[in-house]
Structure 1
Amino acid sequence: MKPSLEDMQVFLAVVEARSFTLAADRLERTKSAVSQAVTRLESDIGTRLLYRSTRSLSLTEAGSEFYAHCREIKDIYNSAIAGLRNSGDKLAGSLSVTAPHALCEPVIIPAIIKLAEQHPQLRIRLLANDSPMDLIESQVDLAIRVGSLALQSAKVSKLGLLGESLYASPQLIEKLCGIPSDLTELQNWPHIANDWQGMPLKYELKSGIQVKATPKVRCNSLHDIVQLTEAGIGIARLPDIIARKKVANGTLCPITSVAAAPIHYMHLFSKRPPTKVQTFIKAIKSELQTCSKN
């Protein structure tokens, strides 16, 4: 029979303790069980490894050579286990993240820049996508999502809130004779919508008013929606952190606030995610706080 790795480690413990009794104590086994393991090992190998007496033990020539191999195997084993345990604590290797376009420019990209500068051994992969993704199939470590979520097998935690408002160009507002005092009249304005917003469009305003509309233009790119809105094609629901610069430049005007949408992060790790994932989550939270202050 082939010698078992467990018996080899018992033999190693006996040699290093220079005693069956001490080895048994260290292994938390009986002296009889330790002795049987060494005897079984010698039988499986077909050669004597130890000279035993009531007062001492010593290695045979074969035992001395075999001990060196057992020591090497144990060192490799310990190194492999330590490597696995520590790999999740190192900010190195690869980190794959998916996030909606609305958060990429103001939040995700700044977080990536900081981590890339602070941890040059970390390789980051960003998948900008507004649609749900299969985290396993896409090999994604961390998913950032906005809005309500369907039932998930992934671990989900809340990151914060994304403020959103309806925006339009100054030209469109002037053309339609200004912002109406009765916000339900916004349903008669031309609307630009993202594909994920559904049909018909439904806006729940902070005031509690609900607005329904049929979009004039639908688009799956936030960047394109912003451009179309600036061009005066219609009114659009945009994240405040995206539209803020446009408002400052005078190309967009806020019409009214929409109820804030929750921001979540998701992962498939059974316990706590690796340190690199936790660090990225903290970086995102920091960027969100910065955006909320500006």
Structure 2
Amino acid sequence: MDRWQSMRIFVKVAETESFSEAARQLHMSPPAVTRAVAALEDAIGARLLVRTTRSVKLTESGSQYLDDCRGILAQITEAEASAAGSYATPSGTLTLTAAALFGHMHVLPVVHEFLRAHPAVNARTLFVDRPVNLVEEGIDVAVRIGHLPDSGYTAIKVGEVRRVVCGAPSYFAAHGTPTVPADLRNHRVAASTGAWVSPEWRFAGDHKVTVQTWLQSNTNEAVIATAIAGMAVARVPEYQIASALTDGRLVIVLADHEEPPLPIHVVYPAGRHAPAKVRAFVDLAAKRLSSR
């Protein structure tokens, strides 16, 4: 077995933390996977993995070697794809992720436009309100709302999102309108467990208010519906209630006390080595999302 194939097997074992799962995903027998990793360790003269009956963990040397292997394998893939032409013309499967509602409302139209322009590309979307590891889940492009960790990925800022406190006019007519954040302690609050788990809401000037949640839901759609029904106030991204603000079903309060808006970035891990499908989509997404 050649060295690059052994490296590929080692990377899969490290990512799955399992010889048997790596074998299943690579369509190999578990003994063959075990032999490949053992041969690789013998060849470089270092233990890469610590095996127990229940887990497989990287050693310190293995962790460093894993990063090196990923870089080498990416270069091999790039060279092969370049020879085949995929780095010149968008083709293949484009996998992307975004927050659920933002993905449906703003990213999906960009995907549709992109697919119409590039018939050799097909797409897979993952619109979820949870952290997504781009490398482990095979994501080409992510649209992320919020401040980014230092990941080493390429990121292009395309906009900002306000988080606003809102409610129905009928609710404020019945319960009064909060004029300072502390007033929220006396109001019914509907909140999403997915987006803001903490009951502590932050405002400008480092002000913090612990709210008593009257209704909790795992979706912002339910929270917004509760606010529109005049039953509670809510705190949600402004884009999610744009139509309700336009037609007067909801109004924003405490606007003068909001924290700075959250940035929106288009993020991709491939960097300057990105294939044509990624580069073309990022260019289009940056243009469309910046103008929304």
Asked if these proteins are the same fold (TM beyond 0.5), I'd say: yes
Task: Determine the structure 2 residue equivalent to 1:211.
Answer: 209
Matches of 2:163 and 2:284 in 1, distance apart? 22
Rate the CA distance shift 1:250–1:101 in 2: closer, same or farther, 3 A.
same
Cα 1:256/1:216, change in 2 over 3 Å: same
SS at match of 1:211: strand
Q: CA deviation at 1:106?
A: 3.1
Q: Secondary structure at the match of 1:181?
A: coil
Encode CA deviations 1:5-28: one digit per residue, 9 max, x unaligned.
xxxxxxxxxxxxxxxxxxxxxxxx
Deviates more, 1:166-175 or 1:143-152: 143-152
2:252 corresponds to 1:254: yes
Quick one: which amino acid aligns to residue 218 of structure 2?
N
Separation in 2, partners of 1:282, 1:219:
36
Output the CA distance in 2 between the equivalents of 1:233 and 1:276: 46
Alignment of 1:1-294 (within 5 A): 83-84=82-83, 86-152=85-151, 154-177=153-176, 179-194=177-192, 195-205=194-204, 209-257=207-255, 258-259=258-259, 260-291=261-292
Q: 1:155 to 1:204 in 2, by over 3 A?
A: same
How far is 1:111 from its partner? 0.6
- The CA deviation string for residues 47-94 of structure 1, in whole angstroms up to 9 with x for no partner, is xxxxxxxxxxxxxxxxxxxxxxxxxxxxxxxxx857546313322211
Deviation at 1:128, TM superposition (A): 0.8
- TM-score normalised according to structure 1 size: 0.63
**Pair 1:112–1:183, CA change in 2 (3 A):** same
Q: 1:197 Cα shift?
A: 1.2
CA RMSD of aligned residues (A): 2.5
In 2, Cα distance between the equivalents of 1:289 and 1:83?
Answer: 30
CA deviations 1:246-293 (Å, max 9, x no partner) are 1122221111333301122332215342232222223333333332xx
The unaligned stretches of length 5 or more in structure 2 are: 1-78
Q: 1:110 to 1:269 in 2, by over 3 A?
A: same
Partner of 1:49: none
Name the CA distance, whole Å, in 1 between partners of 2:191 and 2:169.
19
Whichever residue aligns with residue 255 of structure 1, its letter is: V
Equivalent pairs, count: 210
Amino acid corresponding to residue 290 of structure 2 in structure 1: Q
Max Rg structure: 1
Amino acid at match of 2:276: T
Q: Is the 8 A contact 2:178 2:253 kept in 1?
A: no
